[in-house]
Amino acid sequence: MSGSVNKVILIGNLGRDPEVRRMNSGEAVVSFSLATTESWRDKMSGERRDRTEWHNIVIFNENLGKIAEQYCKKGSKVYLEGQLQTREFQDRDGNQRRTTEVVLQRFRGELTLLDSRGGRGDFGGDSMSEGGNASFGRSSPMDRGYDRSSDRNDNKMPDNRSGGSGRMADIIDDDIPF
């Protein structure tokens, strides 16, 4: 196999509020810890068992960092995609240390907030990915089930879910080259 893949997908809860630092270039770096918990029932005792893994998350993507800073708090549930990176550094005592982090790069990575809007004020379903393309919730008229009754002009979108005669082909532009 000549290629390789370095991709991490996690769903978990923030262990602390996101921390924002600035590099010498002025770019923001957002970091936080994420807990993922695996649960199972012990076959011998019948007791419920849990194992929690902690992941260090670092976001170099400006738009994803803003979302994390504004909407994520300790305990928030998030979905994220990034890459594993190990780096070496010296601690305050001069000892050489290594740490492995899940990194969301400048033009790669995804962060989706999974908490409900009715929860702690977090905005569930909000998402940004691949360099900051936002898709806050369901943004397509087709996904929202366009409500004809609220349309005050004659430009009505067909609603396929209500048994209307509209077809997806009527909506999609014919400029697709294939």
Cα–Cα distance between 80 and 102 in angstroms, integer?
9
Q: Considering the domain boundaries, does residue 136 fall inside one?
A: yes
Q: Report pLDDT digits (tens) over 105-157.
A: 988 899 999 987 544 433 334 444 444 433 333 333 434 344 444 444 444 44
Q: Considering the domain boundaries, does residue 100 fall inside one?
A: yes
Q: Report pLDDT digits (tens) over 40-78.
A: 999 999 999 999 999 999 999 999 999 999 999 999 999
Instruction: Write out the residue range of the structural domain in which residue 30 sits.
Output: 8-38+49-142
According to the model, what pLDDT value does residue 175 have?
53
Q: Considering the domain boundaries, does residue 121 fall inside one?
A: yes
User: What are the strands, taking DSSP E only, across the chain?
Assistant: 8-14, 19-22, 28-41, 48-59, 77-90, 96-104, 110-113, 127-129, 133-134
Q: Considering the domain boundaries, does residue 65 fall inside one?
A: yes
Dihedral Cα 129, 74, 12, 80, nearest 10 deg: 10
Provide the number of structural domains found in the chain: 1
Mean pLDDT to the nearest integer, 24-45 = 94
Looking up tokens 């999974």 gives 114
Q: Considering the domain boundaries, does residue 170 fall inside one?
A: no
Q: Considering the domain boundaries, does residue 2 fall inside one?
A: no
According to the model, what pLDDT value does residue 176 have?
53
Q: Considering the domain boundaries, does residue 3 fall inside one?
A: no
Q: Considering the domain boundaries, does residue 70 fall inside one?
A: yes
CATH number of the CATH domain containing 124: 2.40.50.140
Residue 36: is its pLDDT beyond 90?
yes
Confidence of residue 84 (pLDDT cuts 50, 70, 90): very high
